[in-house]
Structure 1
Amino acid sequence: MKRLVFKAFLLCISCVTVVAQAQQKKPNVIVIVSDDAGYADFGCYGGKEIPTPNIDALAKNGTLFTDAYVSASVCAPSRAGILTGMYQQRFGFEHNISELPVKPYTLNDVGMDPKIKTIGDQMKHNGYRTIAIGKWHQGDLPQYFPLKRGFDEFYGFVGGHRSFFGYPGGKAPSHELALFDNDKIVPENTIGYLTDMFTDKAISFVKENKSKPFFMYLAYNAVHVPMNAKKELMDRFPNITDPGRKAYAAMMVSLDDGVGELVKTLKEQNLYDNTLIVFVNDNGAATGNYADNGKLRGLKGSKWEGGIRVAYIMQYPDQIPAGKVYSKMVSGLDIMPTAVGAGKGELISGQVTDGKNLIPYLNNTIKKAPHDDLFWRRGIAAAVREGDKWKLIRSGDTNPVLLFNLKKDISETKNLAQSHPAKTKKLLAKLAAWEKTIDNPHWLSPYGDKNQILKHRMEVIGREMELKYP
Structure 2
Amino acid sequence: MKKIGVFFLALCVTGAVAQVRPSAKPNVIVIVSDDAGYVDFGCYGGRQIPTPNIDAIAKQGVRFTDAYVSASVCAPSRAGILTGRYQQRFGFEHNTSSVLAPGYQQTDVGMDPTEKTIGNEMQSNGYRTIAIGKWHQGDEEKHFPLNRGFDEFYGFTGGHRDFFAYKGKRTMEHALYNNKVVVPENEISYLTDMLTDRATSFITENKARPFFMYLSYNAVHTPMNARKDLMERFSNIPDSGRRAYAAMMTSLDDGVGKVMATLKQNNLDKNTLVIFINDNGGATVNSSDNGPLRGMKGSKWEGGIRVAMMMQWPGHIAAGKTDSRPVSALDILPTAIAAGNGKQKGTKKLDGLNLLPYLNAGNKKEPHKALYWRRGVAAAMRAGNWKLIRIKEKDSLKNVLLFDLSKDISETKNLAAKYPAKVKEMLGSLVRWEKGLDQPHWYSAYGDYNQIMKHRMETTGRDMERMYP
Q: Same fold (TM over 0.5)?
A: yes
Aligned to 2:255: 258
Q: What is the number of residues matched between the two proteins?
A: 448
Structure 2 Cα separation of the partners of residues 451 and 469 of structure 1? 5
State the SS of the aligned residue for 1:367: coil
Q: Which runs of 5+ in 1 are unaligned?
A: 1-13
Q: CA deviation at 1:106?
A: 1.1
Q: CA deviation at 1:435?
A: 0.3
Q: Which runs of 4+ in 1 moved over 4 A?
A: none
State the SS of the aligned residue for 1:255: helix
Aligned to 2:65: 66
Q: CA deviation at 1:364?
A: 3.6
TM-score, scaled relative to structure 2: 0.94
Aligned to 1:287: 284
Aligned to 1:10: none
Aligned to 1:380: 377
Q: 2:208 aligns with which of 211, 220, 227?
A: 211
1:96-145 CA-partner distances (Å, limit 9, x unpaired): 01111211111121100000000000000000000000000000111100
Aligned to 2:338: 341
Distance 1:418 1:280, change over 3 A: same
Aligned to 1:92: 91
Structure 2 Cα separation of the partners of residues 61 and 399 of structure 1? 46
| Residue type of the alignment partner of 2:463 | E
Question: What RMSD in Å do the two structures reach over aligned CA positions?
Answer: 1.3
Tell me if 1:395 matches 2:394: no
Tell me if 1:161 matches 2:160: yes
State the SS of the aligned residue for 2:246: helix
Note if contact 1:399-1:453 (Cα within 8 Å) is conserved in structure 2. no
Aligned to 1:436: 435
Aligned to 1:75: 74
State the SS of the aligned residue for 1:39: coil
Q: CA deviation at 1:349?
A: 3.9
State the SS of the aligned residue for 1:218: strand
Moved more, 390-399 or 197-206: 390-399
Structure 1 Cα separation of the partners of residues 223 and 245 of structure 2? 10
Aligned to 2:39: 40
Distance 1:465 1:240, change over 3 A: same
1:28-77 CA-partner distances (Å, limit 9, x unpaired): 00000000000010000000000000001000000000000000000000
| Residue type of the alignment partner of 2:332 | I
1:329-369 CA-partner distances (Å, limit 9, x unpaired): 10000000000000010001411100011011011474311
Q: CA deviation at 1:311?
A: 0.2
| Residue type of the alignment partner of 1:361 | Y
Aligned to 1:143: 142
Q: 1:267 aligns with which of 253, 264, 268?
A: 264
State the SS of the aligned residue for 2:368: coil
Moved more, 151-160 or 394-403: 394-403
Tell me if 1:312 matches 2:309: yes
Note if contact 1:64-1:326 (Cα within 8 Å) is conserved in structure 2. yes
Structure 1 Cα separation of the partners of residues 428 and 256 of structure 2? 42
1:297-355 CA-partner distances (Å, limit 9, x unpaired): 00000000000000000000011111000010100000000000000100014111000
State the SS of the aligned residue for 1:310: strand
Aligned to 1:228: 225
Q: CA deviation at 1:400?
A: 2.3
State the SS of the aligned residue for 2:85: coil
Q: 1:184 aligns with which of 158, 181, 184?
A: 181
Q: Which runs of 5+ in 2 are unaligned?
A: 1-13
State the SS of the aligned residue for 1:86: coil
Aligned to 1:133: 132
Aligned to 1:447: 446
Structure 2 Cα separation of the partners of residues 365 and 327 of structure 1? 14
Q: CA deviation at 1:160?
A: 0.2
State the SS of the aligned residue for 1:130: strand
State the SS of the aligned residue for 2:39: helix
State the SS of the aligned residue for 1:204: helix
Aligned to 1:8: none
State the SS of the aligned residue for 2:464: helix
Q: CA deviation at 1:25?
A: 1.4
| Residue type of the alignment partner of 1:394 | R
1:133-180 CA-partner distances (Å, limit 9, x unpaired): 0000000111100000000000000000000001115xx511100000
Structure 1 Cα separation of the partners of residues 283 and 318 of structure 2? 32
State the SS of the aligned residue for 1:395: strand
| Residue type of the alignment partner of 2:305 | I
Tell me if 1:102 matches 2:101: yes
Note if contact 1:101-1:109 (Cα within 8 Å) is conserved in structure 2. no
1:2-37 CA-partner distances (Å, limit 9, x unpaired): xxxxxxxxxxxx9xxx9xx96x61000000000000
Structure 2 Cα separation of the partners of residues 150 and 111 of structure 1? 15
Note if contact 1:399-1:457 (Cα within 8 Å) is conserved in structure 2. no
Note if contact 1:274-1:317 (Cα within 8 Å) is conserved in structure 2. yes
Structure 1 Cα separation of the partners of residues 214 and 152 of structure 2? 10
Moved more, 448-457 or 366-375: 366-375
Q: CA deviation at 1:227?
A: 0.1
| Residue type of the alignment partner of 2:218 | N
Structure 1 Cα separation of the partners of residues 79 and 294 of structure 2? 24
TM-score, scaled relative to structure 1: 0.94
Q: 2:318 aligns with which of 311, 321, 328?
A: 321
Q: CA deviation at 1:238?
A: 2.1
Structure 2 Cα separation of the partners of residues 100 and 396 of structure 1? 20
State, as a whole percentage, how many aligned pairs show the same letter.
Answer: 66
Note if contact 1:42-1:56 (Cα within 8 Å) is conserved in structure 2. yes
Q: CA deviation at 1:399?
A: 4.1
| Residue type of the alignment partner of 2:236 | N
Q: CA deviation at 1:220?
A: 0.1
Tell me if 1:357 matches 2:354: yes
